[in-house]
Structure 1
Amino acid sequence: MTDVKTYGFKNDWRGEIVAGEPLHEMWIRITVDDDLVIHDIEAATDHSPYRICPDIVGNFERLKGLRIVGGFTNKMKALVGGTEGCTHLVELMGPIATTAFQTIFPLKKRREKTPEEIAAEAGQPPKRPPLLDTCHAFASDSPVTKKNWPQFYTGPQDEA
């Protein structure tokens, strides 16, 4: 995340920050496995408004072993939120977690049997996909759901 201003201003720690120079510049990199467990994390604050801001980047190592599943955000904030972290770095973890999930989920789906295949083999009705109703595209009445999970589609039926 980089935060630049179109104007210069004084800063108590850095002196004059000129237009276009980052006030904040920070990043996070995580390494996850196929189960979305964080095995490594590196956080950095390359530019900040205060000298002490980078002092907490090491706290993000507390996230090692945490799994990106429901409740992740609350657990993450308990470990590195408030004075134990940096608002900007904590907020960056949301999109990072989403990206990790969106990267790993389709990969696992290609490797594993679908819930529909497992249910069919067991002679059971298919289970409702966990992605349903988690966003606009996966709404139970969306065309995406109608195409991918027609048995769970709740929108208007085509008239024939």
Structure 2
Amino acid sequence: MTLQHDDITREEIHHRRIDMHGCRRSDGLFEATAFLTDRKTHDFQPPAARHVSASEPIHDIRLTIVFDSDMIVRDVSASLYAHPYEQCLGGGDALSALLGLRIGAGWNSEVRKRLPSSDICTHIKELLGPLATTALQTIYGLRKSRLDQRDGEGKPIKLDSCHAFSSERELVRRLWPEYHRPLSSEDRT
């Protein structure tokens, strides 16, 4: 496949597709599932691995986290439908180390502590960060609005949590004028 942008053509060599879904389950729990597929546009032979024909998946991975309304991991599983090396099949065995972990602040650093790189498939580990975000987005609309929540000092917890909620933005001026800090002319340059 050749891609054209402006005056530059590009020959596609590798295609990675990541798809994530969040669901409410009939048992009262929630789950977030990630699918990752890697393909090459040409035949590919990784060292000491299986031959992969053009457009055949090199990786085809499914990762699912089951969590409760408090964002506590209750189950986690991975399935590897396509992988380059025989040893890849054990790449999800260490995921049980995440059981009981709360999805939220500190998730990525705790994942790194609990899942050393030698114990987990790199691609599964890479998916855990955005999958946690998918889990949070899954339950977000079902929980009390975080716009009303305050920290111990009475500040809105969403304040300065992202670009839109920066204390310098118009949104903060409208929602919480007492916390709005307009950019000075020096800051704009």
Q: TM over 0.5, yes or no?
A: yes
Give the RMSD, CA atoms, in angstroms. Answer: 2.6
1:115: how far off? 3.3
Query: 1:154 and 2:178 equivalent?
Result: no
1:107: how far off? 2.1
Residues 107 and 129 in structure 2, CA contact (< 8 A), matched pair in contact too: no
Question: Helix, strand or coil for the counterpart of 2:102?
Answer: coil
Q: Deviations over 1:137-160 (max 9, x none)?
A: 22121233233333322226xxxx
Q: Deviations over 1:95-136 (max 9, x none)?
A: 1111212332442215x99336xx9xxxxxx82222222221
Kindly report which structure 2 residues correspond to 1:44-83, keeping only aligned pairs within 5 A, or say none.
Answer: 44-83=79-118
Instruction: Flag the 1:141–1:42 CA change in 2: closer, same or farther, 3 A.
Output: same
* TM-score, length-scaled by structure 2: 0.68
* TM-score, length-scaled by structure 1: 0.79
Question: Helix, strand or coil for the counterpart of 2:157?
Answer: coil
Flag the structure with higher strand content: 2
- 2:62 equivalent in structure 1: 27
Query: 1:3 and 2:3 equivalent?
Result: no
Q: Deviations over 1:35-74 (max 9, x none)?
A: 1111111112211111111213121122110001222111
Over the matched positions of the two proteins, sequence identity in percent amounts to: 34
User: CA–CA distance in 2 between the matches of 1:30 and 1:75?
Assistant: 15
User: CA–CA distance in 2 between the matches of 1:76 and 1:88?
Assistant: 13
1:85: how far off? 0.6
Residues 26 and 47 in structure 1, CA contact (< 8 A), matched pair in contact too: yes
From 128, 131, 139, give the equivalent of 2:158: 131
User: CA–CA distance in 2 between the matches of 1:100 and 1:54?
Assistant: 25
- 2:49 equivalent in structure 1: 13
Residues 147 and 157 in structure 2, CA contact (< 8 A), matched pair in contact too: no
More off after superposition, 96-105 vs 50-59: 96-105
More off after superposition, 85-94 vs 55-64: 55-64
Uncovered stretches (5+) of structure 1, i.e. residues with no partner: 120-125
